Each structure stands twice: as structure tokens, then as C-alpha cells.
Amino acid sequence: MMLELKGVHTHYGLSHVLQGIDLRVGKGEVVGLFGRNGVGKTTVIKTIAGWVPPSRGEVLFDGESLRGLAPDWICRRGIGLVPEDRRIFPGLTVEENLRLGQMQCPARSRAASRAQLDEIYQRFPRLAERRRQMGTTLSGGEQQMLAIARVLAGAPRLLLIDEPTEGLAPMIVEELFALIGQLAREGIPIVLVEQNVHRAVRLTTRYYLIERGQVVAQGDSSNDEGRAALLSRLSV
């Protein structure tokens, strides 16, 4: 198992948000985290990436505990987080954003090379065209692409992607889902939080349904039956 959460609890102050999450992500998987607003999906992702430390339980990556590691170090181990709010660095061009991504947490020696940057531009031609434009002046969809590209620049071995399509136009949404599908086919395991369950579930191989900080259902979403079970449970 590449990533494993064992009985993870997370608090924000006195607020007990995650209440014993068990979750596993294997090689080649796209794991969907679904559930209503505020149930703790983002907190699961932030806990994995070390942005909020778990108060109890373990997060294991490649069998090793991440306990006590700062987010930078977790990133360097190979876990890349694309946060919901994208966090494009203001005052920096597209290329400078990507170079920072290469430097911030190079997970592999491939990162931080010119060749790797060229590969990223091949994958994201629109970013190549706009490489000298300020990152924050890109459209919402382009900023989301940049946020993903910047994390890819660190050559992660596992990707956590939080609500990538929120507030974006349908065409861009399709492009983003196609991109995520492509990354998965290239062998990067992905944990995806997405409100657009109908669309997202077609990409995921397995899912966890979360309610009030707990996993209340999980299953296979690689076939019609599994997907139908999830959708009926969510009644969407």
C-alpha cells in the first residue's frame, strides 16, 4: 500500500473534525473522497500533507510514518497537494511559479531540470504561451492548470487534488478531468476531492464516503454497479 491512514483523528482547536479515518491508496488507484460540505474531506487531505497534524493515529507513506514531519518534508517524500484555493504566488510569472514548484519540494532528481519544465509546457500548452504572464492574471481554469503543473514540477509520486473544478466553466472542467485521467494512466496515484460526484466517479477506481469526520461507506467505483451504489447512497 502506498498511502495508509490508520485511525486518524484531527482537531482544529477544540473542534474534533476527523474521528478515526482509515483509508488506503495503492499504486495505480484514483481514490475519490466524497461527502457533503464540511464533513472533513479537505481536512483528510491537509492531514496527509502535514498542513494539520493528526492528534491521534498514523499516516504511513510507503510503509513509513509521516508523524512529526513538516509539510515541506512530506512534499519532498513525494506527496503533492493541489489545494482548493490554488495559491498562485502573486507577483510571479507563470514560469516563476513553476520554478518555485520545482525548488520547493523536489521529490525526485528529475525535478528542477529544464527538460522537466519543457515536459510540463508540452502538457500545458496554454501555460507555455503565457509563461511570462503574471500567474494571478490567468483565468480561473488556467490558474487551476498552473496549480497542478506547479505541483507536478516537484515530480510527486502521489497527488492530492482538492476540488479542482469548483467555479469553472464546463469546457475547462472537462479538460481538467481529462488531465487527471491522463496523470492516473501515467501511474500517479491520486486522491481526489470533488463535489461533481457524477463526473468524478467515472475517473475514480475506489471511493470513500465521509460523514461527520468518519468513513461511512467505501467501495469499488471502477464499474457501473459500484458507481450506482455510491450515487444512490449520496442520493444525487
Ligand X SMILES: Nc1ncnc2c1ncn2[C@@H]1O[C@H](COP(=O)(O)OP(=O)(O)OP(=O)(O)O)[C@@H](O)[C@H]1O
Nearer residue to ligand X within complex by CB, 17 or 31: 17
Q: How far is the CB of 25 from ligand X (least distance, A)?
A: 18
Under the binding rule (CB under 6 A), the answer on residue 109 touching ligand X is no
User: In DSSP terms, which residues pair with 135 in a beta bridge?
Assistant: none
Q: Is 15 in the site for ligand X (CB under 6 A)?
A: yes
Among 3, 23, 31, 43, binds ligand X (CB under 6 A): 43
Q: What region, left, alpha or beta, does residue 90 occupy, with left being phi > 0 and alpha being psi -120 to 50 degrees?
A: beta
Question: Site for ligand X (CB under 6 A): which residue of 7, 26, 28, 38?
Answer: 38
| 40 counts as binding ligand X under rule CB under 6 A | yes
| Shortest CB 88 distance to ligand X, Å | 19
* Between 49 and 127, CB nearer to ligand X: 49
Query: Which residues would be at the binding site for ligand X (CB under 6 A)?
Result: 12, 15, 17, 35, 37-43
